[in-house]
């Protein structure tokens, strides 16, 4: 009788050790231990040959084997089904419709700046970028504004803590200075970037804003070249019917200097709130590069001449998109930015 007990014990050990790894092996496990012709069923008939005092123990052992086989099968089956679901989830259904994703939008400043860069790049201007933390010489002195020059009062400057020579640049003219001291003419560049001035934040002004400045230096460059370049820009930016006018002005780094107005593209120069009913909108400042600026940067002013211009990006964007408060351009309000989803 000991042999029959040993046979059942061995089956119990085999069930515990069985590790089917796929559906086919699991099915073989089921047939062997649970199926209608499983190896446990014939052993049940041997119970009549077991002495009466051992029949109870033998019956309990058989029930333990049967339950162990059933529990092992259920556990293995559940594990394989879960693994199959995970594997199916990893597969890519190429026929499934795409999930919708919210569209972002370009910032109006970026749209306007890229548009300006594209216009000038068509006529040979190359983009130059430089540092925003600048020294006093490149920001002021090289641009013909020494320490005692009254023109410094035109710009409220952010100086770095405990420094009288390092500052946040007040204009991208510092890029022009660095290019003129590192490159030889001919020079034809535009310098886009962020600048800083210590001004009260309001609907019309901010302590940070963006500029695009242009510089062209070569032999025999004249004011007529400047005028034609800006006229081309105005027509490309605001329409082929745009007109420009130049008014005398003052900048320390250009002589002569001028302010440029463009015919109001909002009302077709008929008069509106944007142009203050004059038919003209001020766009930028410009002029011929002062000979002293050329000399400061190591360029012979007797051999070379040049012109420069500069404009604020925020002003351009506000006019193009009818924005009445400059602060909207810096607050990152999603409701405001969503309006530019379709802008190029």
**Residues 160 and 34 reside in one and the same domain:** no
**Residues 70 and 155 reside in one and the same domain:** no
Specify the CATH number for the domain of residue 316.
3.30.930.10
Q: Is 118 helix (H, G, I), strand (E, B) or coil?
A: helix
Residue 181 inside a domain? The answer is yes
62-76, 286-300, 313-327, range with greatest mean pLDDT: 286-300
**Residues 138 and 207 reside in one and the same domain:** yes
pLDDT in tens, 9-49: 777 777 888 787 788 887 888 778 777 777 777 777 777 77
Question: What pLDDT is recorded for position 38?
Answer: 77
**Residues 116 and 80 reside in one and the same domain:** no
Residue 139 inside a domain? The answer is yes
Question: What pLDDT is recorded for position 83?
Answer: 61
Residue 99 inside a domain? The answer is no
Other CB atoms within a 10 A radius of the CB of residue 231 amount to: 16
Residue 72 inside a domain? The answer is yes
**Residues 288 and 179 reside in one and the same domain:** yes
Q: How confident is the model at residue 254 (pLDDT cuts 50, 70, 90)?
A: very high
Number of domains the chain is built from:
2
Residue 90 inside a domain? The answer is no
**Residues 298 and 210 reside in one and the same domain:** yes
Is the pLDDT higher at 220 or at 342? 220
**Residues 45 and 118 reside in one and the same domain:** no
**Residues 193 and 134 reside in one and the same domain:** yes
Question: What pLDDT is recorded for position 322?
Answer: 82
DSSP for 35-86, written as a single string: STT-SSHHHHGGGGGS-HHHHHHHHHHHHHHHHHHHHHHHHHHHHHHHHHHH
**Residues 113 and 70 reside in one and the same domain:** no
pLDDT in tens, 91-108: 677 787 877 777 778 889
Residue 318: give the domain boundaries: 108-340
pLDDT in tens, 120-131: 999 999 999 999
Candidate from 34-43, 69-78, 104-113, 202-211 with smallest mean pLDDT: 34-43
**Residues 78 and 116 reside in one and the same domain:** no
What's the order of all strands across the beta sheet hosting 280-289?
Answer: 126-127, 187-196, 208-218, 305-312, 280-289, 254-263, 244-251
């Amino acid at each position: 009788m000991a042999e029959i007990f040993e046979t059942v014990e061995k089956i119990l050990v085999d069930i515990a050790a069985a590790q089917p790894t796929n559906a086919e092996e699991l099915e073989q496990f089921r047939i062997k231990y649970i199926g209608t012709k499983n190896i446990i069923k014939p052993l049940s008939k041997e119970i009549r040959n077991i002495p009466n005092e051992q029949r109870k123990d033998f019956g309990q052992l058989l029930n333990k084997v049967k339950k162990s086989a059933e529990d092992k099968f259920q556990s293995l089956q559940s594990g394989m089904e879960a693994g199959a679901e995970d594997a199916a989830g990893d597969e890519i259904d190429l026929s499934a419709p795409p999930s919708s994703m919210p569209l972002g939008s370009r910032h109006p400043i970026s749209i306007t700046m890229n548009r300006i860069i594209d216009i000038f790049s068509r006529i040979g201007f190359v983009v130059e970028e430089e540092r925003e933390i600048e020294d006093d010489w490149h920001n002021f002195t090289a641009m013909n504004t020494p320490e005692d020059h009254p023109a410094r009062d035109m710009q409220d400057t952010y100086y770095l803590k405990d420094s009288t020579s390092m500052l946040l640049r007040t204009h991208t003219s510092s890029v022009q200075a660095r290019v003129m001291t590192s490159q030889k003419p001919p020079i034809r560049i535009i310098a886009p970037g962020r600048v800083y001035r210590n001004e009260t934040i309001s609907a019309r002004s901010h302590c940070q804003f963006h500029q695009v400045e242009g510089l062209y230096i070569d032999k025999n460059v004249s004011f007529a070249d400047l005028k034609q370049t800006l006229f081309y820009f105005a027509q490309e930016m605001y329409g082929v019917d745009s007109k420009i006018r130049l008014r005398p002005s003052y900048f320390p780094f250009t002589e002569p200097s001028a302010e440029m107005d463009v015919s109001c593209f909002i009302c077709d120069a008929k008069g509106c709130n944007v142009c203050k009913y004059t038919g003209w909108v001020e766009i930028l400042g410009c002029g011929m590069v002062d000979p002293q600026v050329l000399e400061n940067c190591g360029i012979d002013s007797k051999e070379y001449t040049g012109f420069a211009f500069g404009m604020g990006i925020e002003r351009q964007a506000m006019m193009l998109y009818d924005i009445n408060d400059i602060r909207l351009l810096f607050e990152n309000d999603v409701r405001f930015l969503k309006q530019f989803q379709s802008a190029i």
